[in-house]
Structure 1
């Protein structure tokens, strides 16, 4: 693990000069738009050629100082301090991650100028959610929108002041919802359940389950053909992502695992396509999601057309 205590937080700005008065420089535009935030442990930074913008977000215990339990959409602040500080540096040449993340930085390039944050400003952060659906999987990203408020950076002679600056978004958690189900379909009382018993995620072992709240599915899909079941407030889909595995639990029982994600769909359709063997009368069913919108609070993702299971 790298020793972040020896890494200076930095604030890289290639700036449009707005005003200059008595040693104070005020800028109205930073040129770090569309630059991805990277991190070394609790140090988050942006690089642009020979410039660096960095903030240290350490709570003193080697963990991020931003509260991951903050409700989505609620803005909170931490004061700029000697621990949670911002620095602006320029270098003699273009820089790479090694300049920030290596315990012993490379000899070149060298620092040309450095401005360090003074006390008094704020680091504001707001949790937000971003969703997407690609390749049979929904991705739920949890991010902090980070802004600096009333910051002043100084090199001892001159000051750079900025009333408000949008630093960008920091990913702090991501969950993947897999919609390809490997276990046999379970026909329970008044519902149908689709299950993935165990999978390895980046943040631990998880299991996932899709529940369709509808009775009599079997009796309504015995004949060959396609049957559409419109979703509604009564006949809806629930997707649950659990911590751990479900191997010791019955398919139709309520699971005792901690729920990471719970999404609900009342719009769209579940389509069951039935094929009956002309030889022995065996029935095969394919389950398809059509124009389904899953929602959680004010967030949603859309599935246009997806086969989730053939039994």
Structure 2
């Protein structure tokens, strides 16, 4: 199945390199904004390197990795890389918004879901170590505290201000920005954007609770069995990296715009709540990363004496 996934990714890249644009999205690369048709993909004459030759070469390289039958750590590293490239946090916003009727780039959604599917396939290819009886290993107190922080940050720093904006409360933004939100945000999209991040953030609690190490008894088939460590660690690590990277890169873009004069400090002051969301992403990712490290330390196999 992994080779089929890689062959499919390679074939679509060859098709794009030959001039076809079916399934390709040009969002953020042209001035045409039509999400349903890939943001003007047909107008892109020269394919970006990592959408064409770069991705094709990577597919060939990964196929060689699979045929080499590498150790589990290599396969899990590839799986984590694919999951990070998919940027699943973006899907948490894009899919609910699209289902609620907001114009959505479904080509981008499909490409991200394909990367996630590839990550799952590579993870499944990794050999599983023999596991003994399920046993809960309590995490350190600092891990619990970081897990609570990872839950609180998206709730307070994201859901609360977005809920206020949806209710027409100008919390930390200008009146013009609030009018723009009210004009372009449907009720379904507002509910999805407000509710999904804190609900996703609750999963961080699993890294500090029993149910993150042992499936609850009421879960069909796997009840009372041990949760595979990497099943918790890989998504947590990928999301933490994505959050920190997104927040850091966005902060860099903001700083650069202030330095080159394309944005004024008065704009930052007027929209301080929007700027603060960049800190929210970095803080959320950092708290999740710390919690994942604590989970790893608590659940790793004891060293032989």
- Report the TM-score range of the alignment, normalised by the length of the smaller protein: under 0.3
The alignment's TM-score, normalised by the length of structure 1, stands at: 0.19
Q: Which has the higher contact order (CA 8 A, sep 6+)?
A: 2
Question: Which is richer in helix?
Answer: 2
Greater strand proportion: 1
